[in-house]
């Protein structure tokens, strides 16, 4: 007997106190959602269920806009189903267990939690997409998906309900080294995810406490091009091959490490500088959170610009010189009040570059 439910018309969404299925959607009967009437995204939930159970074989999803302008993307429902199956299989998530939805339903990460619940016959616990969505969680959660900010807040507030989370997928933005150390101490199956809207959520996962590299899910093949950009291949995608802008190192066991973004490479005086690697050096070397950006320069082509929330002292700049190579050392320092973020909490490098290039420095 098939473990997962691939046929959409046979799927039903099991909530804490009710069930809603294809027949209810066709009849426009949303009475099963009455217990969620205070849920701020109730309209988005209804809209997604109508779209999912419609006769179309695709849904429209909004990209996050962290590296380019936000755009609407058409995803096949079949690719989302196969993605859900791959995740539940990889993590060994059983049917009739509890899943937690506590992210913004505008984006793929939240939508896929609903699909996983539908495909794997899980009970979906729904909470607000707040900084701490675990405040009133009393039951065990077998699978959750959260953004780093939510995990960080729960740890800072010593949220007791963290003990109820058995397995959690963390995505939407990068996880700081300090947060990874705190997560590792939880002794739980918490994973950093790699993926994008076009791949219907993640295609690879990394156990934060146990692994340094990302491991691909079933049905995914990877390779890299001459510029070390990651190429993802899968029969469930359309097109079946996707060239990403992520620079990677692929290991012998087919796991991979992310080194940075191709579009974040700064070529200064013919030297290639990877923004993310510099940021990591600075964070590890002096505990300073910063964004590396650039400006056009007549002599160098591009010059490195360091963006921080604080004004650096002469001593800090001296430490920076000892940490970085001479080509990496910033030619300009810019202080801003807050780093610009996208709607789902990622650093917006596009907005940061605009701020940098509008600066009078």
Q: 240-257, pLDDT tens digit by residue?
A: 899 999 999 999 999 999
What is the C-alpha separation between 269 and 287, in angstroms, rounded?
A: 28
pLDDT tens for residues 346-357?
788 889 989 898
Listed as own residue / partner, the contacts of 51-57 with beta carbons closer than 8 Å and 24 or more positions apart are 52/8, 52/77, 52/114, 52/115, 52/118, 53/8, 53/9, 53/22, 53/25, 53/26
The pLDDT value recorded for residue 344 is 63
DSSP letter string, 293-324 = EEEEETTTEEEEEEEESSPPPHHHHHHHHHHS
What is the C-alpha separation between 60 and 41, in angstroms, rounded?
A: 17
pLDDT tens for residues 3-12?
899 999 999 9
Q: Where are the domains of the chain?
A: 8-220, 269-357
The pLDDT value recorded for residue 298 is 85
The pLDDT value recorded for residue 69 is 59
Range with the poorest average pLDDT among 58-62, 174-178, 232-236? 174-178
Mean pLDDT of the 42-53 span: 95
Q: Which CATH superfamily is domain 269-357 in?
A: ANL, C-terminal domain (3.30.300.30)
Of 351, 336, 356, 353, residue with least CA distance to 70: 351
pTM summary value: 0.82
What is the C-alpha separation between 141 and 99, in angstroms, rounded?
A: 6
**What are the tokens at 58?**
């695709």
Mean pLDDT of the 72-92 span: 95
Range with the poorest average pLDDT among 132-146, 164-178, 212-226? 164-178
Contact 79, 203 (CB under 8 A): no
Q: Is the pLDDT of residue 187 over 90?
A: no
Alpha-carbon separation of residue 72 from 65, 207, 224, 240 (angstroms):
10, 31, 27, 19
Binned at pLDDT 50, 70 and 90, residue 341 comes out as confident
How many distinct helices (H) and strands (E) make up the chain? Answer: 9, 20
Contact 74, 60 (CB under 8 A): yes
Mean pLDDT of the 277-291 span: 92
Alpha-carbon separation of residue 318 from 165, 313, 330 (angstroms):
44, 9, 12
pLDDT tens for residues 102-147?
999 988 999 999 999 999 999 999 999 999 999 989 999 999 999 9
- Residue 239: is the preceding peptide bond cis (ω within 30°)? yes
Binned at pLDDT 50, 70 and 90, residue 238 comes out as confident
Binned at pLDDT 50, 70 and 90, residue 45 comes out as very high
**What is the rounded average pLDDT for all residues in the chain?**
91
The pLDDT value recorded for residue 347 is 83
Binned at pLDDT 50, 70 and 90, residue 236 comes out as confident
Supply the DSSP symbol for 32.
G
The pLDDT value recorded for residue 190 is 98
Considering the segment(s) 8-220 as one domain, its CATH architecture is 3-Layer(aba) Sandwich (3.40)
Task: Judge residue 310's burial from the number of C-beta atoms within 10 Å of its C-beta, 0-12 exposed, 13-18 middle, 19 or more buried.
Answer: exposed
What is the C-alpha separation between 111 and 146, in angstroms, rounded?
A: 12
Q: Is the pLDDT of residue 1 over 70?
A: no
């Amino acid at each position: 007997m098939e473990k997962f439910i691939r046929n959409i018309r046979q799927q039903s969404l099991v909530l804490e106190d009710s069930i809603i299925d294809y027949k209810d959607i066709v009849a426009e009967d949303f009475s099963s959602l009455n217990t969620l009437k205070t849920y701020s995204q109730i309209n988005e939930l209804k809209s997604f269920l109508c779209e999912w159970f419609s006769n179309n074989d695709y849904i429209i999803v909004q990209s996050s806009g962290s590296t380019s302008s936000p755009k609407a993307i058409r995803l096949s429902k079949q690719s989302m189903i196969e993605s859900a199956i791959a995740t539940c299989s990889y993590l060994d998530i059983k049917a009739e267990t509890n899943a937690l939805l506590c992210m913004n339903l505008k984006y793929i990460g939240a939508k896929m939690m609903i699909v996983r619940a539908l495909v794997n016959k899980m009970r979906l616990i729904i909470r607000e997409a707040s900084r701490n969505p675990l405040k009133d969680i009393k039951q065990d959660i077998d699978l959750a998906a959260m953004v780093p900010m939510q995990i960080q807040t729960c740890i800072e507030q010593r949220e007791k309900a963290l003990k109820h989370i058995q397995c959690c997928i963390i995505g939407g933005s990068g996880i700081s080294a300090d947060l990874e150390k705190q997560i590792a101490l939880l002794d739980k199956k918490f994973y950093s995810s790699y993926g994008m809207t076009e791949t219907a959520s993640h295609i690879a996962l990394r156990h934060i406490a146990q692994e340094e590299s990302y491991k691909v899910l079933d049905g995914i093949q990877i390779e890299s091009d001459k510029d070390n950009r990651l190429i993802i291949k899968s029969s469930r995608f359309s097109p079946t091959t996707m060239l990403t802008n992520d620079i990677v190192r692929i290991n012998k066991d087919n796991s991979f490490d992310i080194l940075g973004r191709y579009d974040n490479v700064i070529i200064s005086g013919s030297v290639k500088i990877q923004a993310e690697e510099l940021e990591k050096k600075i964070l590890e070397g002096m505990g300073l959170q910063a964004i590396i950006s650039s400006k056009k320069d007549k002599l160098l082509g591009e010059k490195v610009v360091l963006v921080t929330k604080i004004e650096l002292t002469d001593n800090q700049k001296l430490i920076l010189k000892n940490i970085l190579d001479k080509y990496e050392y910033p030619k300009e320092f810019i202080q801003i009040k807050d780093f610009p973020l996208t709607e789902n909490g990622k650093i917006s490098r596009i907005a940061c570059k605009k701020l940098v290039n509008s600066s009078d420095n």
